Copies of this chain bind each other. A is one copy, B any other.
Amino acid sequence: MTFIEKLRRAWEQQDSLLCIGIDPDPERFPSCVRGADGILDFNRAIIDATAVHACAFKPQIAFFAAQGAERTLERTIDHIRDHHPHLPVILDAKRGDIGTTAEMYAREAFDRYGADAVTVNPYLGGDTIKPFLRYEDRGVIVLCRTSNAGSDEFQGLACDGESVSLRVARKAAGEWNRSGNVALVVGATWPGELAEIRALVGDMPLLVPGIGAQGGGIAAVVEAGIDSRGQGLIINSSRSVLYAGSDSRFAESAAAEAAGLRERINRHRRKHDRGAA
């Protein structure tokens, strides 16, 4: 099954557009999580508790790389595949290079870690994207408009009447998506651009970070970003779910937070459906 098929099935069967970001920061772990396998124990507990509410998991490689914990990342992804094989794994790596180097990054994400999809940075142009696209069963999720305030600095520049990020979206839809394996990152903090990008790219999946802690509103995201089937969004939450609790019941707290987010997203979907009907 391709990434896109797996994702569409998860949206449907889980009745969820919520993605759980796995950003394990030992400094924020509850005190009951410690020892050599602390990160893995924490990740497994969060994954098992939130899987029922999620459409995908998104491990952030930087949190593993900072502490030399690549093996823990491999084991975290293995755990998802073994215990929740219906949920796609998006490796958040934001890689961006060219030629053989880009091929090596594609190998890292898809062969070594076995990710279903990976995030990629388009600054170097289509040359960056192509080595990833060759893995036709995997997803290539291109940074388009990121959630941070400073994304305006270059992504928001107006060039020939459209922003750099809209130009990226146009390339993604028009040139890079021939095998139907491309998606885009669009931050929840830019609902105006989210709507413009949705209008440009049809039913292409959009990965949306930046709700909650970063200030993006769920209603506006659903309103602006939902596709013609009432799906199309991978709405990510990392910290607000992972660190919802700080005691031994942290996994239950994470599950409650995830359940609440899914329900708020679904409430707005239903409102939107009724509005559209």
Contacts and interface: CB of A to CB of B under 8 A. Distances in A.
Interface of A: 23, 25, 60, 62-63, 65-68, 70, 94-102, 104-105, 107-108, 111-112, 121-128, 143, 146-155, 157-160, 164, 167-168, 171
Contacts of A98: 146-148, 150
Nearest to A147: B98
B94 A95 contact: yes
A154 B168 CA distance: 8
Contacts of A149: 127
20 contacts: A62-B101, A62-B104, A62-B105, A66-B112, A68-B70, A94-B95, A94-B96, A94-B97, A94-B121, A96-B121, A98-B148, A121-B121, A121-B123, A122-B123, A123-B155, A126-B150, A127-B148, A127-B149, A154-B164, A157-B167
A66 B122 contact: no
Contacts of A67: 107, 112
